[in-house]
Amino acid sequence: MTTLNNAIHESIITIDCNYMFPQFAASYLMIEGDRAAFFETNTSHAVPLLMNALKENHLEPEQVEYIVVTHIHLDHSGGATLLAQMCPNATILAHDKAARHIIDPEKLVNGAIQVYGEAEFQRLYGQIDGINAQRVRIMEDGEKLRFGSRELEFIYTAGHAWHHLCIHDPATRGVFTGDSFGLGYPILNQGSPAFIFPSTSPIGFDADEARKSIKKILKTGAKQVYLTHFGTYTDLEKNAETMLGFIDDMEQILNNAIDSKLTGAGLEMFCLDEITWFFEKELNERGLEYDGLIKDVLKTDIELNAKGIALLAGQN
């Protein structure tokens, strides 16, 4: 395994967690004087890579003060407990609805095992233990956190998930957006305009809230976003416009799915076709094909997005 540790700004290091594919899921290490903080933990399997990033930057695990989890989805939160065990002075920061599952992950883990099966769960996520509630701090919408010379701002951003926070770092004019400002992969930006897209994965997609969250992120005045999947995107006005258009498209697909009156496997197939068609169209407009490595990388997102839309349509 190789790691890709890129300094975006001298104080923020991008760590490639090697989850699913290279450049698919990131964790970010923020260095603030003699302190450090992680934003996103990916899974337990990524923790050695995160520890290695500390070492490469001449930091001891004891210097990690915060471990920030944007939301509870396991490719964001799955490594939090193990990382906190390795970094004894770190406090995990999360939304109220996420914090309870970090402290006691049993329900979350059992739910995921039901979806994936035990073997696949272990392969993807590894061991996830609970943690003493005193190591976890709940962050509120609008709450500010002093971190050395920085003042980080936590922003509640529903739309992808109901337990999602973004973190504004005025020092780098950047926002750690988790999955609230879309997903985008370097492989999709081969000389073409940036392609970032909303995740409608089960079960928290809400178009109105998603639009609100994009506007909240823009309102910070930031000039860049640090996407968990994957990397730094600038030109926020343009990317926000793209995202808002795509959220409308996802809402339209949801409405089409509801109008179809389909149920069960038929409904799932309908959603998968619509979402696949959406991706093919957007890729083609950028001179790319839904094929080869691009198909491999996007397949999971397309299936998850279709599943999320089908679940919502089925509730209507």
Q: Which residues bind Zn ion (CB under 5 A)?
A: 73, 179
What beta strand segments (E) does 105-211 contain? 136-138, 144-147, 150-156, 165-169, 174-178
Q: Of 21, 17, 55, 23, which is closest to residue 36 (Cα–Cα)? A: 55
Question: How far is CA 165 from each of CA 95, 157, 193, 297, 299, rounded to the nearest angstrom?
Answer: 6, 5, 27, 25, 26
- Residue closer to Zn ion (CB basis): 40 or 179: 179
- Residue closer to Zn ion (CB basis): 36 or 183: 183
- The distance of closest approach from Cβ of residue 158 to Zn ion in the complex, given in angstroms and rounded to an integer, is 12
- Residue closer to Zn ion (CB basis): 31 or 108: 108
- Residue closer to Zn ion (CB basis): 22 or 308: 308
- The distance of closest approach from Cβ of residue 76 to Zn ion in the complex, given in angstroms and rounded to an integer, is 6
- Residue closer to Zn ion (CB basis): 71 or 211: 71
Say how far apart CA 309 and CA 204 lie, in whole Å: 10
- The distance of closest approach from Cβ of residue 42 to Zn ion in the complex, given in angstroms and rounded to an integer, is 12
- Residue closer to Zn ion (CB basis): 179 or 209: 179
Q: Enumerate the β-bridge partners of residue 169.
A: 174
Alpha helices in the chain (DSSP H): 47-56, 74-77, 80-86, 96-103, 106-116, 118-124, 207-219, 236-259, 264-285, 292-314
- The distance of closest approach from Cβ of residue 160 to Zn ion in the complex, given in angstroms and rounded to an integer, is 6
Q: Helix or strand or coil: residue 268?
A: helix
- The distance of closest approach from Cβ of residue 190 to Zn ion in the complex, given in angstroms and rounded to an integer, is 25
- Residue closer to Zn ion (CB basis): 174 or 204: 204
Closest residue to bound Zn ion by CB: 73
- Residue closer to Zn ion (CB basis): 183 or 188: 183
Q: Which two tokens stand for residue 209?
A: 């809230």
Q: Helix or strand or coil: residue 6?
A: strand
Say how far apart CA 243 and CA 1 lie, in whole Å: 33
Say how far apart CA 55 and CA 20 lie, in whole Å: 24
Q: Enumerate the β-bridge partners of residue 93.
A: 68, 137
Say how far apart CA 39 and CA 70 lie, in whole Å: 8
- The distance of closest approach from Cβ of residue 308 to Zn ion in the complex, given in angstroms and rounded to an integer, is 10
- The distance of closest approach from Cβ of residue 3 to Zn ion in the complex, given in angstroms and rounded to an integer, is 22
- The distance of closest approach from Cβ of residue 79 to Zn ion in the complex, given in angstroms and rounded to an integer, is 14
